[in-house]
Each structure stands twice: as structure tokens, then as C-alpha cells.
Amino acid sequence: MKKTKASTVLAIVTALAVLAGCGGGGGSASGTKQQGSGAQGESDQPVAITIMANLHTPEVPSDKIEKLIEEKTNTKLEIQWVPDGTYDEKVNASFATGTLPQVTLLKNAASLINMRDAIRNGQFWEIGPYLQDYPNLSKLKPEVLKNTAVDGKIYAIYREVPLSRQGIIYRKDWADKLGLGAPTTIDEFYEMLKQFKENDPDGNGQNDTIPLTDRNDLVYGAFKTVSSWFGTPNNWGEKDGQLLPEFMFPEYVETMKFFKKLHQEGLINQDFPVTSKTDQQNLLTTGKAGVYIGAMGDVSSLEPKVLEINPDAELDVQNKIDGGPNGFGVWSVPGYGSVTLFPKTAIKTEEELKQVLSFVDQLMSPELANLIYWGIEGEHHTLEDGQVITTEDTKLWDREVKPYQVLQVGGPLTVEGFLEAKHTRPVKAKAEALIVENNDFLIEDPAAALDSKTYNEKGVQLQELIKDATYRFMLGDIDEDGFQAAVDNWLNSGGQQIIDEFNASNEASK
């Protein structure tokens, strides 16, 4: 058998050499199809641009809008659509094999954090110094760009999102029937839930309503929004001049206690830690539940469903809940949704980068920004008093317009002449107005632009400890001591390092 072992080793060594060849070369040897584009850029030849973007629709998108973009920017686009659920895997695999396209979208802040080391290593173009040269890109907000920066340098452009969409959606007809107004304090909110539970708001003679419907998400579900009412900081907060995670603040514990009470008294769906968003919304649309906390914009998809089952139902939205000493408050996101990076493996020269940036700049022009977001007038929307009414044909919209919305650069705050929607549903219009109003009392995340090595490595895993403890507290599985033990565990397993590193990063950025 000796010989066999030797030959196995030999085979593996050969294999290694082959792989190393590929892996080492991954950075340089694998520029893709667009190599020729740089040289012929100045002629009238369309410039080839490759893009990778996540797809949110069930279908393969139609290329109607793509063709129009190509025509208006004199480019030849090659868009790799990747299903949203597998997007990060595809980005990682493409990155490791040096096959990222010129314009690479990252889904969200978490994906950007995962790329930080690579960015530091110079795998992507630093675009900060170039932005001022472009009429539209120069309008991107510095304070948002700062949140995407790595070591203070700007590598990414962003797609704008509203700072905070959070609020309450509730059954106004139920509240009216019981003589309740929109809740303005936590006590009134609790009272509403209690009455919804006890006083048979749906009038079916049975005590079968679930007042609040929530889901398995501590952030975009109800928990974080309610924690804002109590005055909990957003992810990180300052105490005695030091940054500490939100769960080390008493307000966080207050919020947990509140939920524990709701759970014990049957004012929230008993299964909320395992309820999917679909099931959560289902409880509201089928008239089992009366209150929903989350993105207020969801009302536009919820209302028609509620009405289909019960034409007499009425939904309303509400945002300002006074939690006592701190006044109103609602947590906010750092101002960007997805971001776009420009890999050096695909963009070889500065000249090529300028071409790509010029293309991206054009996407931000009013004409193209509106085309990307609203589609073609007369086909996908109509204009009324300068406002957009989108088509009722959701299938057409999903196929031809919606996928391209991810390509949007900037947004209403940064694109002049970005068309506004005319909401045919009054409650949707109200929701949009409240989202704007939220801007008056935002609780921002002070650590959004900060960096911690330990957090990048272990943050997600450690956060699970806190998530578990939070749920178990709310369900009455552990008490305050138990929760404190979980926090201690978090501190000992690397949390203290995260605190130290964020504080150091905070000092450095001042």
C-alpha cells in the first residue's frame, strides 16, 4: 500500500498546484468580457457595461427598460440578475473567482461590512475623489456617503431609502366601534390592545381576536419600534461618554417586560417568535388581528386584502407614540439601502472607471431616474398634476419595471425632478406623510459609520445570544437575572472587545 499513499500525495499536490494557479490568478488574470471597452470608448460605439443586481420579482425581467437605458446612455448593458435569496453567495463566489462585474450591487449594510477587509485591501476603486466631477453623483449626501465609508474613504454610491418607515397600522373600524382614538402614548396603545382583546371588536360574539400581530424579527417586526417608544438607543447608545449596545440600557429591558406582559395577557399572537411575515400579515388581513407594527408603507398591500375579506373594514396608520421622558422617538436606518461597488478586477484603468461612473451618473439624471423607478409614461404609469399614478397591472409592473428599481442611484432627496407618487388610497398617502414626519424625531445609530474587527468576525454569532435571551425573556423562560447572564456571556465571548473597538473607532473619527 505504500506506493498508493505516495501516489495519492502526488495527485493532491498536483491538484493543489492547479488550484493555486487559479486562486492566485483570481485577482488579475480573469478580467471578463468587457476588456475591449476601454480603448474604443471615445468613438460612438456603445460602451459595454456589466452589472450584477439582486432580483426581487418572481420572473426573469423583460429587457424593455434595459434597452431604453442603453439607448439613452449609449451603452451595451449586460445585467446578471441573481435571485435575492442567494445573492450574497453569488457575490462571494464571483468575488473569490475574480468574476465580479464592473458595477456590483451589495444588498445592504451587512453585505458591505463583510466586504470591508477586501475594500481596505484595495480590491475596489475609491471613488470619493471623482464624485465632484459628475453633475448628478456630486449631489449624493456626504453624511450618507460617510456611513458607507471605510476608514473615512468613499468606495460606494448608494440608493436612498427613507430614514424611518416604522409605525402602527391598525383597524380603525374596530377602534371606532370601541370608542378609541389613535393611540398617542404607550398606555393608550396598551389600552387599545386590551379592548381589542376583551370587547369583541369584530362582533362575532366570540373572544377570539388577537390584538397585536408580530413576527420572528426583532428589528423589522414590532420589537425595535416599540423599544424606540421607550427611548432605547438604536443599536448603540452613549452612556457616560461611552458607546454601549442597546441591550445594556434599562429601556431595552422595559421593552422586553412590556412584550412579556402582552404575551402573558394574550394581547399578541402566542407564536410570534416563529411567525413568518406572511403569516403575520395573514392574521391582519383575515380579521383575526387588529394591530400591526412595522413599515407603514405595507398598508398599501394590506388594505386591498383586508377589504377583499371584509368590505367594511378600515385601516389607519399612526406613528407618534409618546414614551414619557424622552418624548417621541423612532429608530432610523443610515440613509442607504443597497450600495454599489466598482471592482478593480473588472475595471482595469482609471479611464474605464470614468466611463462606468459617467454611466452611473446618467442613471441619476432626472430622466433616467424616473424611467428606472416609474417606467414609461402611458405604459407603466400616467401623470396627473405632475404626479405619478402607477399601472394597476401588477404583473406588467413586476416584469418590466420593478426589477430595475434596484439600479436607482440616490433618490427623491438627491435627484431634482424625481417624480412623486399620487396615492389613490388615502391611507397610503397618510402613511407616506407620516414617514416624512418621522424625520423629526429620529433615533440614529451612532455606530453606523464605525468599525470593529471583532464585530465583523463574530458580531452576528454574538447577536444570536442576545436575540435568544430577548425572546426567552419575553416568553417568560428566563428572568432579568437570566437576561443579565446572557449579556455577561456576550461581554465575555468578545462583546467587551466589540465595545472597546467601537469606542476606539469613535474616538478616531472625531
Partner 1 sequence: MVHDKTIPSRIFDIVNYTLLLIIGLVTILPFLHVIAGSFTTVAELAQKRFVLFPTEWSLDAYRYIFSTNTIFKSLGVSVGVTFFGTMFSMLLTCLMAYGLSRKDLDGRNFIMFMVVFTMLFSGGMIPTFLVVKELGMIDTYAALIVPTAINAFNLIIMRNFFQNLPEGLEESAKIDGAGDWGILFRIVIPLSMPAIATISLFYAVTYWNTYMQAILYLNDGAKWPVQVILRQIVILASGLTADTSSMEDFVRPPEQTVKMAVIVVATLPILCVYPFLQKHFAKGALLGSIKG
Partner 2 sequence: MSETAVSTGMNPDVDVKPPKQDSGRMKRIIKNRAIYMMILPGFLYFLIFKYIPMSGLVIAFQDYQAFLGVMNSPWVGFKHFERLFTEPMFFTILSNTLILFMMNLLFYFPVPIILALMLNEVRREVFKRFIQTMVYIPHFMSWVIIVSISFVMLSMDRGIINELLAMMGFEKINFLMSSDWFRPMYVLQVIWREAGWGTIIYLAAMAAIDPGLYEASRIDGASRFRQIWHITLPSIRSVIVVLLILKIGDVLELGFEHVYLLLNSMNREVAEIFDTYVYTAGLRQGQFSFSTAVGFFKSIIGLIMVMLANWLAKKAGEEGIY
Residue 117 contact among partner 2, partner 1, none, beta carbon within 5 to 8 Å by kind? partner 2
Q: How far is the CB of 96 from partner 1 (least distance, A)?
A: 5
- 10 is a contact residue toward partner 1 (CB under 8 A): no
- 476 is a contact residue toward partner 2 (CB under 8 A): no
Q: What is the CA radius of gyration of the chain?
A: 26
Q: How far is the CB of 270 from partner 2 (least distance, A)?
A: 4
206-265: contacts with partner 2 (CB under 8 A) = 210, 216
DSSP state at residue 345 = T
Specify the pairing of strand 166-171 against strand 289-295. Answer: antiparallel
DSSP state at residue 181 = -
- 161 is a contact residue toward partner 1 (CB under 8 A): yes
Residues 139, 468, 491, 500: which binds partner 2 (CB under 8 A)? 468
**Which residues does 181 contact at the CB level (< 8 Å), separation at least 6?**
175, 188
297-316: contacts with partner 1 (CB under 8 A) = 297-298, 301, 305, 308-309
Backbone angles phi and psi of 366, in degrees to 5: -50, -45
Q: Would you state the cell numbers that stand for residue 506, as one nine-digit string?
A: 469613535
Q: Would you state the cell numbers that stand for residue 198, as one nine-digit string?
A: 376583551
Residue 128 contact among partner 1, partner 2, none, beta carbon within 5 to 8 Å by kind? none
Return the sign of the alpha-carbon dihedral for residues 270, 298, 448, 226.
Answer: negative
CA atoms within a 13 Å half-sphere pointing along the CA-CB vector of 186: 22
- 482 is a contact residue toward partner 2 (CB under 8 A): no
Give the other-Cβ count within 10 Å of 285's Cβ. 23
CA distance 447 to 502: 7
CA distance 373 to 414: 14
Indicate the residue among 96 and 436 with the shorter CB distance to partner 2.
96
- 24 is a contact residue toward partner 2 (CB under 8 A): yes
Q: How far is the CB of 225 from partner 1 (least distance, A)?
A: 13
Q: How far is the CB of 275 from partner 1 (least distance, A)?
A: 10
In b/e form, how buried is each residue of 383-397, taking b as 16+ CB within 10 angstroms? Answer: eeeeebebbeeeeeb
Give the other-Cβ count within 10 Å of 18's Cβ. 10
Q: How far is the CB of 50 from partner 1 (least distance, A)?
A: 9
34-63: contacts with partner 2 (CB under 8 A) = none
SS3 400: helix
**Given the rule CB under 8 A, which residues bind partner 2?**
1, 3-4, 7-8, 10-12, 14-16, 18-20, 23-27, 92, 95-96, 110, 114, 117-118, 121, 123, 210, 216, 269-271, 273-276, 279, 283, 288, 456-461, 464, 467-472, 475, 477, 489, 493
**Given the rule CB under 8 A, which residues bind partner 1?**
4, 19, 22-23, 26, 30, 54-61, 78, 80-86, 89-90, 92-93, 96-97, 99, 107-108, 110, 161, 165, 215, 217, 219-220, 276-279, 281-282, 285-286, 295, 297-298, 301, 305, 308-309, 333, 337-338, 394-395, 398-399, 402, 405-406
